[in-house]
Amino acid sequence: MTIEAGQPLAGQPTSARQAGPRRPLGGLGRAALGRAGRAALLATGRPPVPDALEPLVQAHRRHHPQADLGLLGRAYRLAEESHRGQKRKSGEPYITHPLAVTVILAQLGAGTTTLVASLLHDTVEDTELTLDQVAEGFGPEVAYLVDGVTKLEKVDFGAAAEAETFRKMLVATGDDVRVMVIKLADRLHNMRTIRHMKPASQVRIAKVTRDVLIPLAERLGIQVLKAELEDIVFATLHPEEHTRTRALLGRHEAGPDTLLMPFARDLGRQLAEAGIAAEVTVRPRHCVSLHRVLLKRAAAPGPDGRPQEPQPADFGRLLVVVEENADCYAVLGELHTCWTPLPGEFKDFVAAPKFNLYQSLHTAVALAGGEVVEVLVRTRRMHEVAETGVVALGDPGQPGTGGGDQGRDELDRTDPARPGWLSRLLEWQQETPDPDAFWSALTADLAGDREITVVTERGETLQLRAGATCVDAAYRLGEETGHRCIGARVNGRLVVLSTVLHDGDRVAVLTGEAAGPDPGWLAHARTPAARLAIERWLADHPPRRPVVRTGPSAGQPAPPDRPVAADRPEAPVSVDGRPGAPVRLARCCTPVPPDAIAGYPVRAGAVTVHRAGCPAGERMLADGRGALEVSWRPGGAPQAGYRATLRAEALNRPRLLADLTAAISGEGVGIVAADVEPPQELRVRHTYTVELPDPAALAAVLRAMLRVSGVYDVERPHAPAGGGPGRAPAPAAGASAEATAPPEGNGDDPRAPGVRTSWGIHGRTAALSGQRSPSPSRGPEG
């Protein structure tokens, strides 16, 4: 469907010939049809409509044959009388503007109530007519729509008038989506006549249209309106690029189509032979769409290293319209059988519609000559919704208007396309009384071209803008949940809060008794709701600055002297011959007392401490760095506490990750990092880096992890050949896990001297049978 983009009407009587082509009926000409139509209207007793409404009546009758034309006639007469004497900047009578806006809406298929409100949409703003008079003459519904699109006075709001006007429209749209539909049609006609504005005004209006109105048209699914707005904005803001793209498009249209039309005929014949009733047409790209394709071509160099030239297939796509949903997949089968489909180019928006109700099958096939052609497949109803969006769903609350009442509560007058995005937008706008902050948040929220859908592990569906992170998901579940968020799992893996989510991800927000959001979260929040909630919490909870005292105040005793070690513990390791040398515990093997350790000199006189047998330490020794004598210092401890890396081998099952993290947390140990490898042959490996409150807690954590159902082995990576608790001891038969402790010394089994014990299920079996255990890095055989 295309919206006619002719010259605005001038208000004088318009003939049927000027109104555009019409289909002849029988042997009657256009003039005879017009006279016959007026005679039939008079015969019914209805008052005749003004001749200026004839294009409007023709467009409206195509979608609503039983519409009340008398109501339109009354609305037009009132609007014409109210605007009489007013002129537009082009010099034309002002009534041409509301009339042109109403014709646009009639071409989209809007209902009679919407058209009446459109004819009157500027009367309350620019004339002496009041809302009460509109409500008295046409009902409260029309008055609500007119009030929704009425601008706020600059006298009252100053520079904030535009932002507050959009806020008012959005609130009104939350109750009736037709408010925004009328506003979009109003902006389209203003953009068609933007050449009569001053250059500075043209740029300002075009930018607002680009940042706010076009994204709203996209979210409401009105593609025909969005495409024309994009082209006019492109011509206004980038005239040179628009001229070049338009010239290229014109040259292509002037030449013969040697690719798309022949392929359309071949596809039509193939579908007819298969018994599939379908209509195959070539769908040309509009100017902005072609410009985007050209940018992709320029960014992808060809085999010779030069930017690729546009191909004939870049100028359009094939559209296949069928009757039933099942026919869409039948067409897809024929396409992929007779031509070569391109991997990765198939998208099923029929089974999973877009957030604006768009439904189609998208695919691309390669022809015999190597050309790649995109094909869209949809039903007639899908095509109607894809072109006109929420307008195709009909007027809310009015039965029989294009299906708007099907499956919906008659009292539900919210956006029928997707109440979610609009309700979320309305929620955060209430929290931003400042017009500048509201305008910035609005443009940022609308900047995303699409939305994504993620599912929580409890089955809740969350709609988020593209690029949203785990922080946004946490605050989407509620402000309190966001404030207490301490981590997240995405598709079963523990991730950082800055992780970007993708369509279809499974998300779990981990919460705790946290003190609130970190200021760094603002850099990861992509949705206005999350940003505003974080900013509000930070404003209410300013960080406490440390108090520096130089001495006791009057009347207060001096604080007792404290040993330095109470605030700054001694180094955990002493180095022979190097007193006071900086010591670092290696992160590769995470030594913890009483592990056997070795020290190696590094830069700036520091010493790095590895567990005995650590491969990284042995490499340093092989590189010529002599080992230093180091020993654990009693009472010493690193400032950040001891960290240990633990690896669990388990049989994969649901909730394994949750049970393991709960077991670790139950021992009072904090998890610093975690990694879950993909399952292999039903086995899975979890690796955790934990922060121990005390070295003695390590054995308890190992035992707690081994008690988790499905876990058959727990070890510390880079375990030495001997010394230290390298693995968790498996409880012996008939004994409790709490009563079992790891052996001391070199780890040899006291029951079988010289036989190494591997502390896990398969290790316990090996020890009892008197055989050497398998490698710690492998799971059970078979």
Residues taking part in catalysis: 125-126
For residues 332 and 321, give the distance between their C-alpha atoms in angstroms, rounded to a whole number: 12
In this structure, what are the phi and psi dihedrals at residue 613, rounded to the nearest 5 degrees?
90, 0
Number of H helices, E strands in the chain: 29, 20
Sign of the CA dihedral with 42 first, then 44, 45, and 47 last:
negative
Three-state secondary structure readout of 671-714? EEEEEECCCECCEEEEEEEEEECCCCHHHHHHHHHHCCCCEEEE
The single residue listed with the structure tokens 């009157």 is 120
User: Measured at the alpha carbon of residue 277, what is the angle toward residues 276 and 280, in degrees to the nearest 5?
Assistant: 105
Contacts (Cβ under 8 Å, ≥6 apart) of 270: 334, 338
Contacts of 465 (CB under 8 A, 6+ apart): 445, 448, 450, 451, 452, 472, 526, 527
Instruction: Give 182-210 as a 3 state SS string.
Output: HHHHHHHHHHHCHHHCCHHHHHHHHHHHH
User: Which of 689, 673, 583 minimizes the C-alpha distance to 637?
Assistant: 583
User: Rounded to 5 degrees, what are φ and ψ at 156?
Assistant: -85, -30
CB of 651 closer than 8 Å to CB of 683: yes
Which has the closest alpha carbon to 389: 437, 357, 420? 357
Nearest C-alpha neighbor of 22 from the set 50, 67, 51, 55: 55
How many Å apart are CA 586 and CA 629, to the nearest integer? 16
Of 225, 284, 283, 292, the closest CA to residue 250 belongs to 284
Cα angle 448, 451, 454 (rounded to 5 degrees) comes to: 135
| Token duo for residue 462 | 């969350």
Contacts of 650 (CB under 8 A, 6+ apart): 656, 660, 683, 684, 685, 686, 708, 710, 711, 712
Question: What are φ and ψ of residue 724, in 5° steps?
Answer: 85, 155
Distances (CA, A) of 633 to 212, 254, 570, 583, 725: 65, 87, 8, 12, 19
